[in-house]
């Protein structure tokens, strides 16, 4: 398995111990790092700002012996580089006498190019302008007897695999208009930053946020390596902070304050970044700089394993405990988005009543909670919610009792209308055979929808939809039945998130009676309950959705990586193998992946006519904004590619 074929490139940022003012010793340390087995499969190694000399050399930078030693040290590092790229920081004196703080890119025994720092801090504890000139206007071709020919200039891109990277140095990132934003518009998908950022209370958090947001603004990966604690501690202490972020997400970081050195190894995904850039109209339509020099050529890389991990539940924030602070904030915000959207729709429609079908299942339960919050938002009484349960030929006593418990525990009123007779009459009018086929199932769903809309007319209300994102993606809904509503509050909430939201509500917001009802519903198998239990005497609920269409945790994983990241079926399959390695074998993953794509393409016509609903995350299937697809799109090539997977 070569994960480089799927867009992954492995990077390392390393802050080794430094001998201040001793380039020879520092070069030996860097070469030793290059040769360590720990970094054998890394495609790019980044070392801190002025790592050849040490950042805190002060007036030693002016010494001619320092200039000579730096050139020899760069030669040793360049010689030690192979097909891997090594980026090191060093002072460099131009022929006109200006001293630059620069980053040198070494590969295959050569220096491919050098990038000078443009912004030098000259405030507080920093006074870099005493030694260094800005490299903003520098563009010189160097022809050195040992180092060879290379260009020193800011506007340069360097090839790494099939991607490109560029460099900005420390303070360049802190300035109001960082060079990295120009670099990414020129085509860099990776920014590397050799830095020397000292440690202060809370500065690490600021640094993380800065790098994370730089990666988001540039829709890029951002690799950062800062000087370690063996730099001079005259007035400041350095921590050796190494970080990697990708389009707003922090992927990895190292420990700080390690006197023996610190490092971090992780991968970024250039395919994902290109997809994100192509979908981001603002980024795609921004003007591009044209005077960039390209160094190196695209090459095949090898990544046999992945260091980065993939959340098996990408829609749900990972937590060390069942409900940590991040999830608590996320759950509260999602419910506020849903309930605020519904409240605004009530205002616009002048509705006096919310009509909601309550089944005793998860989706209608979440919608019920959202309705309560929306009414509270508008300072309306809960009696303005008409919760109605519509038991039919396949409704179990268990779910019917759950619906009763749910509504009564919230102090609302429940209306019960049995649909057995009306469904029977409808099927009789059709001369139906009596089989429990799709006609039998859909007749129940459409009868319920008819009652909901007619009741809404009667009560001057609107019908609140309950179907979730996962069901919409799979087409697991009846066209012009539960597919339809006046406003669907769950339209962009996937099933795995529905489960977590209901559980969160049970533990954090519900009274005891409501909590008991919610936990009872959570313990009930997911089912449409459209086939009577008598067809399967062993089960009180004969239809169990996940045994028919597959586990929702898998489908939500597929949905996220197909819609959010634009990955093809093979890449999704490989990542699912990693995320679910201890739960599903290859044959099972292929089976449900194939079914996912088949159903996703086959049922687009249901999504083309979806009613409105609040968007709560980055993935949505609204035909008005987020997903537009021909109803007749051909899925056969995708299914063939899945069948061929090993």
Residue 497 above 70 pLDDT?
A: yes
The one-character DSSP state at 248 is T
Distance between alpha carbon 500 and the CA centroid of its chain, in Å?
Answer: 18
Question: Are the C-beta atoms of residues 303 and 11 closer than 8 Å to each other?
Answer: no
- Residue 385 pLDDT > 50: yes
The answer, yes or no, to whether residue 26 has pLDDT greater than 50, is yes
Are the C-beta atoms of residues 445 and 480 closer than 8 Å to each other?
no
pLDDT in tens, 94-111: 999 999 999 999 999 999
Active-site choice (57, 71, 168, 170) = 170
The domain at 325-550 falls in which architecture?
3-Layer(aba) Sandwich (3.40)
Q: Averaged over 194-210, what is the pLDDT?
A: 97
Given the residues 49, 171, 253, 441, the one annotated as active site: 49
pLDDT value of position 281: 93
Nearest-angstrom CA–CA distance, 390 and 618: 34
Query: How many CB atoms lie under 10 A from the CB of residue 200?
Result: 13
pLDDT for 86 equals 98
pLDDT above 80: residue 533:
no
Q: State residue 446's pLDDT score.
A: 97
Residue 323 has a pLDDT of: 57
Confidence bin at 645 (pLDDT 50/70/90): very high
**Catalytic residue from among 57, 117, 231, 606:** 117
Is position 322 annotated as part of the catalytic site? Answer: no
Mean pLDDT confidence for 19-31: 98
pLDDT digits (tens, 9 = 90+) for 298-324: 899 999 999 999 999 999 977 655 557
Q: What is the mean pLDDT of residues 105-122?
A: 97
**Count of Cβ atoms closer than 10 Å to residue 378 Cβ:** 15
Mean pLDDT of 257-272: 97
Listed in order, the ranges of the chain carrying CATH 3.40.50.620 are 325-550
- Top pLDDT among 413 and 238 is at 238
Question: What is the predicted pLDDT for the residue at 536?
Answer: 47
pLDDT at 322: 55
Please write down the HEC assignment for all residues of 565-630.
CCCCHHHHHHHHHHHCCCCCCHHHHHHHHHHHHHHHHHCHHHHHCCCCCCCCCCCCCCCCCCCCCC
The residue-averaged pLDDT of 129-157 equals 97
Residue 540: per-residue pLDDT: 65
**CATH number for the segment(s) 3-295:** 3.60.110.10
* Residue 237 in tokens: 């202490």
* C-alpha–C-alpha distance, residues 468 and 475, integer Å: 11
266 is catalytic: no
> What percent of the chain has pLDDT above 70?
98
The answer on pLDDT for 92 being more than 90 is yes
What is the three-class DSSP state of 295?
strand
Chain region(s) in the chain for CATH 3.60.110.10: 3-295
| Residue 153 main-chain phi, psi, to 5 deg | -165, 160
83 included as an active-site residue: no
User: Which tens digits make up the pLDDT trace of 319-340?
Assistant: 655 557 778 889 999 999 999 9
Residue 538 — pLDDT band, cuts 50, 70, 90? very low
More confident residue, 536 or 367: 367
- Section 144-171 average pLDDT: 97
Nearest to 301 by CA among 10, 603, 644, 101: 10
């Amino acid at each position: 398995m070569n994960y480089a074929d799927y867009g992954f490139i492995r990077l390392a940022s390393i802050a080794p111990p430094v001998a201040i003012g001793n380039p020879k010793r520092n070069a030996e340390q860097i070469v030793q790092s290059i040769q360590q087995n720990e970094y054998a499969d890394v495609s790019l190694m980044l070392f801190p700002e002025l790592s050849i000399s040490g950042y805190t050399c002060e007036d030693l930078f002016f010494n001619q012996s320092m200039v000579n030693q730096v050139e020899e040290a760069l030669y040793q590092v360049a010689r030690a580089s192979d097909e891997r790229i090594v980026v090191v920081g060093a002072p460099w004196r131009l022929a006109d006498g200006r001293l630059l703080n620069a980053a040198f890119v070494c590969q295959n025994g050569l220096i491919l190019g050098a990038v000078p720092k443009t912004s030098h801090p000259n405030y507080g504890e920093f006074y870099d302008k005493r030694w260094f000139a800005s490299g903003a206007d520098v563009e010189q071709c160097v022809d050195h007897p040992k180092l060879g020919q290379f260009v020193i200039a800011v506007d340069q891109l360097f090839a790494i695999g099939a991607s490109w990277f560029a460099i900005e140095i420390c303070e360049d990132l802190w300035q109001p208009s960082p060079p990295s934003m120009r670099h990414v518009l020129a085509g860099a998908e990776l920014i590397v930053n050799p830095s020397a950022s000292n440690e202060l209370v809370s500065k690490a958090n600021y640094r993380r946020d800065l790098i994370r947001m730089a990666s988001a603004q540039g829709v890029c990966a951002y690799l950062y390596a800062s000087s370690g604690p063996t730099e001079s501690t005259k007035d400041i202490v350095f921590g050796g902070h190494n970080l990697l972020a990708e389009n707003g997400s922090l992927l990895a970081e190292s420990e700080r304050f390690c006197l023996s050195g610190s490092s971090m190894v992780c991968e970024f995904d250039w395919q994902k970044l290109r997809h994100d850039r192509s979908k981001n109209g603002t980024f795609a339509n921004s003007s591009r700089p044209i005077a960039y020099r390209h160094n190196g050529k695209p090459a095949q890389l090898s990544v046999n394993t992945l260091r980065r991990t993939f959340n098996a539940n990408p829609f749900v924030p990972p937590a060390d405990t069942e409900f940590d602070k991040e999830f608590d904030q996320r759950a509260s915000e999602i419910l506020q988005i849903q309930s605020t959207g519904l409240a605004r729709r009530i205002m616009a429609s002048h509705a006096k009543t919310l009509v909601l079908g309550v089944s005793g299942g998860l989706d209608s339960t979440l919608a019920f909670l959202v309705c309560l919050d929306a009414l509270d938002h508008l300072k309306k009484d809960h009696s303005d919610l008409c919760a109605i349960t519509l038991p039919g030929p396949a409704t179990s006593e268990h779910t019917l009792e759950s619906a009763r418990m749910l509504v009564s525990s919230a102090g609302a009123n429940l209306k019960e209308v049995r649909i057995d007779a009306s469904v029977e009459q409808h099927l009789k009018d059709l001369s139906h055979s009596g089989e429990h086929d799709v006609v039998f199932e859909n007749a129940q769903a459409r009868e319920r929808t008819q009652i909901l809309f007619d009741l809404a007319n009667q009560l001057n209300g609107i019908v609140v939809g309950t179907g979730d994102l996962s069901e919409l993606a799979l087409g697991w809904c009846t066209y012009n039945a539960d597919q339809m509503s006046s406003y669907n509050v769950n339209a962009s909430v996937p099933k795995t998130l529905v489960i977590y939201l209901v559980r969160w509500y049970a533990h954090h917001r519900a009274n005891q009676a409501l909590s008991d009802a919610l936990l009872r519903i959570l313990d009930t198998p997911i089912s449409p309950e459209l086939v009577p239990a008598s067809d399967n005497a062993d089960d009180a609920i004969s239809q169990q959705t996940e045994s028919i269409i597959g586990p929702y945790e898998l489908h939500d994983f597929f949905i996220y990586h197909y819609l959010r990241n634009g990955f093809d079926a093979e890449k999704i399959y490989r990542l699912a193998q990693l995320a679910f390695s201890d739960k599903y074998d290859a044959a099972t993953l292929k089976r449900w992946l194939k079914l996912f794509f088949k159903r996703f393409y086959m049922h687009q016509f249901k999504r083309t006519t979806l009613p409105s609903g609040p968007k709560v995350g980055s993935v949505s299937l609204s035909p008005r904004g987020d997903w537009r697809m021909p109803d007749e799109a051909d899925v056969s090539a995708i299914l063939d590619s899945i069948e061929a997977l090993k």
